[in-house]
Amino acid sequence: NAGVTQTPKFQVLKTGQSMTLQCAQDMNHEYMSWYRQDPGMGLRLIHYSVGAGITDQGEVPNGYNVSRSTTEDFPLRLLSAAPSQTSVYFCASSYEGHRYGYTFGSGTRLTVV
Amino acid sequence: GNSVTQMEGPVTLSEEAFLTINCTYTATGYPSLFWYVQYPGEGLQLLLKATKADDKGSNKGFEATYRKETTSFHLEKGSVQVSDSAVYFCALNGGGSNYKLTFGKGTLLTVNP
């Protein structure tokens, strides 16, 4: 089925470890983004990309890294995990977001201990 | 910058009751407005959208009208069901080449039988 696929669904990390959250879409969307969801905070934008080879920072980029080598994939890297990065992470993609809205993945629940 | 303010929850209703979730926004230009729904343990799904003033978005019995004069996009449903229990997010996109989504903090709705 077409959509946004995120892996893994759950992950537990130790402080200081690094990992990559994967995100892939098969809808040929130009725009992809990463959000984190925390209780009482809504969703906050971490990084986004408007096309292959182009990325930019969102509202809360510190401690995260991204790259966009293909249209389909937009991985999010945690460089050195901290307990403050415990959250649920969502990837989203869009063709023309202001017209058609955004398609979200099912999320990755990350716990840093 | 852009911002979205939605009524704080939780909101608890009995089945068949009328639902209103208030949402107001601050934005320059002509944003597009969205309501997303998140069912327990799932990602966000686009519920409805409106891309210009006086547009009415509707889906699954939910409606919202884009009111530029009051900068509002209130979500309504005439008769809620237990299956409508979820978190509802109001969001805006600045339009044009601005692909970013700005979210409200979400409103938890619980519908009791």
**What average pLDDT does this structure show over B5-30?**
93
Q: How many CB pairs under 8 A join A and B?
A: 61
**What average pLDDT does this structure show over B49-58?**
94
| pLDDT at residue A98, as a whole number | 65
Is-contact B33 B25, C-beta < 8 A? yes
Is-contact A92 A103, C-beta < 8 A? yes
Instruction: List, in sequence order, every beta strand (DSSP E) within chain A.
Output: 4-7, 10-13, 19-25, 31-38, 42-51, 54-57, 64-66, 76-78, 87-94, 103-104, 108-112
67-106 of A, contacting B, C-beta below 8 A: 90, 92, 94, 97-106
43-102 of B, contacting A, C-beta below 8 A: 43-46, 49, 51, 89, 93-101
- B64: phi then psi, degrees, rounded to nearest 5: -155, 140
The yes-or-no verdict on residue B98 having pLDDT over 70 is: no
Across the interface, of B32, B89, B106, the residue whose CB is closest to A98 is: B32
- Confidence band for A42, pLDDT divided at 50, 70 and 90: confident
Q: Which residues in chain B have Cβ-Cβ distances shorter than 8 Å to A58? A: 100
- Confidence band for A97, pLDDT divided at 50, 70 and 90: low
- Confidence band for B2, pLDDT divided at 50, 70 and 90: confident
The yes-or-no verdict on residue A110 having pLDDT over 70 is: yes
Helix (H) or strand (E) holding A57: strand A54-57
**Which of B33, B35, B44, B105 to mutate to test binding with chain A, by most A CBs within 10 Å of its CB?**
B44
